[in-house]
C-alpha cells in the first residue's frame, strides 16, 4: 500500500470518525438541522476540533442555498472542503537558484528534528543529491553524537564543533564547507527551543544572519518540526513559533502510532504555512512527502461507500 504507515497511523482518528459517521449516514436520514447538529458534534469531538465545526457551517450555508440537498451529497462536500484547506501543502522544497540550498530545521525539544533531518537527508540522497549536515544543536552532548551517527550511516558529511560551541559558529563553518564542497543541500540542526525563550530565539536569528553572510538568499527553507501526537497543542505551538522564526514549511513527525491527524487542518487554517513532510516512524525511509488526497481519505470514511472519488 502506498501510504501504509500513514494510513495505519491515522487509525485512531479515522475509526473514531467512522463509527459516528456510519451511524449518522447509515440511518436513511434526511438532511435537516438535527442531522447537521449531530454531524458537527461528531466532527468536533474527533481531532478535527474547530475545523469540524467550520466545515459543517459551510455545509449549512450550502444546504440553505440548496446546493446540497441530500445526505448522499454530504461526504463529497466534506471531502472537498477538507481538501481545500490543504491547498498548497505538498512535499516540495524550495531550491537555491544556484549553489547549496540551505534548510534550517527548528522546533521544540523532542519534536523529532534530528530524526527528520536524517530522513530528509536520506530522501535527498536517494534522489541523487549531495547533502551536508550541520550539527547546530550544541546544547546537549548527545545531540551532536546523534546527528553524527546518522551522517555516518548515510555516508554523508557533517560539520560539528564541541558541545557548548556557538551554534552560529557551526552554521558559519557549515556554510563555508557547503560552498567549497559544492553540495546541493545543507541541512542545519538546531537545539530545541520554545518561542518564549527569548535568548534562544535571538540565537536562531543570529544563526540566520551568519548563514546569510555567505549565502545571501539562505535559508531557503525553515522547516518547523511538530510532534503529530500533540494534536490541537501542535496548532498553538506552530502559530507562536512561526511568528518569530520565519518558518516556511512544516514537518509533522510521529504520524505513526497515536497521531492526531485532524490537527493538520487547524494548523493549515491558522497559519499560511504548508505541511510539507510527514514522519511515520523512526527509520530512515519513514518520511513521506505530504499529499492532501490520501491524507483526507485516510481520515474521512463513511462506512459503506466512501467520500473518496479516487480508486
Ligand X SMILES: Nc1nc2c(ncn2[C@@H]2O[C@H](COP(=O)(O)OP(=O)(O)O)[C@@H](O)[C@H]2O)c(=O)[nH]1
Class of residue 293 by CB neighbours under 10 A (exposed 0-12, middle 13-18, buried 19+): middle
Nearer to ligand X, 46 or 111 (CB): 111
CA atoms of 88 and 92, how far apart (whole Å): 10
Q: Tell whether residue 282 is a contact of ligand X (CB under 6 A).
A: yes
Nearer to Mg ion, 40 or 221 (CB): 221
| Of the candidates 194, 197, 208, 195, the residue with the CA atom closest to the CA atom of residue 136 | 208
CA atoms of 72 and 126, how far apart (whole Å): 44
Nearer to Mg ion, 75 or 192 (CB): 192
**Can you give the binding site for Mg ion, defined by CB under 5 A?**
113-114, 143
Class of residue 109 by CB neighbours under 10 A (exposed 0-12, middle 13-18, buried 19+): middle
Nearer to ligand X, 26 or 110 (CB): 110
Q: Tell whether residue 110 is a contact of ligand X (CB under 6 A).
A: yes
Residues 209-228 touching ligand X, rule: CB under 6 A, are: 225
Q: Tell whether residue 163 is a contact of ligand X (CB under 6 A).
A: no
Which residues sit opposite 289 in a β-bridge?
Answer: 277
189 CB neighbour count, 10 Å cutoff: 28
C-alpha cell at 260: 492526531
**Interface with ligand X (CB under 6 A), residue from 114, 224, 248, 301:** 114
Q: Tell whether residue 288 is a contact of ligand X (CB under 6 A).
A: no
- Backbone phi, psi, residue 188, to 5°: -105, 120
Q: Tell whether residue 289 is a contact of ligand X (CB under 6 A).
A: no
Judged by CB under 6 A, the stretch of 108-116, 153-161, 210-218, 239-247 that binds ligand X is: 108-116
Q: Tell whether residue 279 is a contact of ligand X (CB under 6 A).
A: yes
Residue 112 interface partner, choices ligand X, Mg ion, none, CB cut-off 5-8 Å depending on type? ligand X
| Of the candidates 160, 157, 208, the residue with the CA atom closest to the CA atom of residue 185 | 157
Nearer to ligand X, 112 or 167 (CB): 112
Kindly list the residues in this chain that would bind ligand X in the complex (CB under 6 A). Answer: 107, 109-115, 192, 225, 253-254, 256-257, 279-282, 286
Amino acid at each position: 500500500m502506498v501510504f501504509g504507515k500513514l494510513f495505519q497511523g491515522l487509525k485512531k482518528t479515522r475509526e473514531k470518525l467512522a463509527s459516528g459517521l456510519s451511524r449518522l449516514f447509515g440511518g436513511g436520514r434526511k438532511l435537516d438541522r438535527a442531522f447537521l447538529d449531530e454531524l458537527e458534534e461528531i466532527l468536533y469531538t474527533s481531532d478535527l476540533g474547530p475545523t469540524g465545526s467550520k466545515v459543517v457551517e459551510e455545509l449549512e450555508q450550502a444546504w440553505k442555498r440548496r446546493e446540497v440537498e441530500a445526505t448522499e451529497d454530504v461526504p463529497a462536500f466534506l471531502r472537498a472542503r477538507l481538501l481545500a484547506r490543504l491547498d498548497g501543502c505538498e512535499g516540495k522544497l524550495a531550491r537555491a537558484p544556484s549553489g547549496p540550498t540551505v534548510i534550517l530545521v527548528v522546533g521544540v525539544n523532542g519534536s523529532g528534528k534530528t530524526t527528520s533531518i536524517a530522513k530528509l537527508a536520506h530522501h535527498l540522497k536517494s534522489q541523487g543529491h549531495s547533502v551536508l549536515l550541520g550539527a547546530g544543536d550544541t546544547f546537549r552532548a548527545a545531540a551532536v553524537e546523534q546527528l553524527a551517527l546518522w551522517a555516518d550511516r548515510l555516508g554523508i558529511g557533517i560539520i560539528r564543533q564541541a558541545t557548548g560551541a556557538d551554534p552560529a559558529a557551526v552554521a558559519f563553518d557549515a556554510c563555508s564547507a557547503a560552498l567549497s564542497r559544492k553540495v546541493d543541500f545543507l541541512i542545519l540542526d538546531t537545539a530545541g527551543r520554545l518561542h518564549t525563550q527569548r535568548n534562544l530565539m535571538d540565537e536562531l536569528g543570529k544563526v540566520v544572519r551568519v548563514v546569510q553572510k555567505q549565502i545571501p538568499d539562505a535559508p531557503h527553507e525553515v522547516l518547523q518540526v511538530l510532534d503529530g501526537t500533540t494534536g490541537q497543542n501542535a496548532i498553538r505551538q506552530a502559530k507562536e513559533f512561526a511568528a518569530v522564526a520565519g518558518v516556511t514549511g512544516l514537518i509533522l513527525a510521529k504520524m505513526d502510532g497515536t497521531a492526531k491527524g485532524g490537527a493538520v487542518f487547524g494548523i493549515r487554517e491558522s497559519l499560511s504555512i504548508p505541511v510539507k513532510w510527514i514522519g511515520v516512524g523512526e527509520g530512515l525511509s519513514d518520511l513521506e512527502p505530504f499529499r492532501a488526497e490520501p491524507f483526507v481519505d485516510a481520515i474521512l470514511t463513511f462506512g459503506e461507500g466512501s467520500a473518496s472519488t479516487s480508486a
